Amino acid sequence: MAVWVRVKLQDDTLASNPVAGVNVQFYDAATETFVTSGTTDPLGIVDVLIPGAAYPMGVDYHVRAYKPGCSFGGPKTIKVYEPAQPSPDNNEFLFGDVNIYEVENSPTPGLCRASGFLVQSDGKYLKGIRLIFRGWPPETPRIFYDSLVIQPGEVPHEIEAASEDNGFYRVDLMRGAKYSVVLPGWDEYFRTVLVPDRAGVNLADLLFPIPMVITYDNPGPIITPVSTPVTIQASVQFSDYNTYPDFSKYVNFASDNPAVFGIGFAPEGKITITGAAPGIANLKATRSELTFRTVPTRALVGDTVAVQIT
């Protein structure tokens, strides 16, 4: 059985504006298993049908939300009763603490501003921690502060970024340069990041990029006879706005019906489709287990290509 549950999101301003277009996801609180999701309408409302339990036991869920440029904190915990009870146990929940922020752009040409919040596994913001960025040489000359040209082989100075009291970080980095980043509690480890050629990027996406958009030189539908291979080229843009030549560790490609066609994959992104029998199937792409896990999950755009074998 299941019962309707309503969640309404409002921002944290005095006006309490509804927040539309938010992907709201529901997870079983005991196992963190994904249950269902929905998107808020112009009134900031999303309705979903999920299992509940009799009052007063109920079923606990964690509610997580994602929208670019928004910070939600969380997760929020709700208890769902089946059947719904009189208010306040009527399975309607209002969260009015959505903190809207836009990714900031650096005012300086040649620099990219990494900004945003870092959220811990418990949903709390990481505050008062310094991130250390140690510059690697850019691959090509870069104009810095309108006049200073940084040549390949020259290393920018070390930069430290500390959060504001609310946990918001901002740091200006050289576009196209690589930095090793020492993270809190990981003194013996560091991450290497590539700064995108743009004015701004979300800090979490710079530190932990995941595949976001797949494009193909032939987006399909692909029509080919049995035993006549067709090769297409895939390219993957990550959440840090960069494309990496060898993305094979982070994206898996497969036929959703191997009886119709099979595939071969080369690390540089070439996918060969070979028909086995007449029919219609799809080339499917999924993030691999090596990809950073995000909660809530984020859609992978371009994950399906239609294939017809004649």
| pLDDT digits 0-9 by tens, 105-156 | 999 888 999 998 877 666 667 777 788 888 765 555 554 444 445 555 555 5
Q: Average per-residue pLDDT in the chain? A: 86
pLDDT in tens, 18-66: 999 999 999 999 988 899 999 999 999 999 999 999 999 999 999 988 8
What lies within 8 Å, CB to CB, of 293 at 6+ separation is none
> Are residues 35 and 44 in contact, defined by beta-carbon separation less than 8 angstroms?
no
| Mean of pLDDT values over 80-97 | 92
pTM of the model: 0.77
d(Cα 111, Cα 242) in Å, to the nearest integer?
Answer: 15
Nearest to 45 by CA among 60, 68, 65: 65
Q: Which residue has the higher pLDDT, 226 or 14?
A: 226
Q: What is the pLDDT of residue 145?
A: 45
Residue 136 CA to residue 144 CA, distance in Å, equals 15
| pLDDT per residue as tens digits for the range 236-260 | 999 999 998 888 889 999 999 999 9
Instruction: Compute the average pLDDT of residues 99-109.
Output: 84
Domains, in order of start, for the chain: 3-100 (2.60.40.1120), 111-207 (2.60.40), 212-309 (2.60.40.1080)
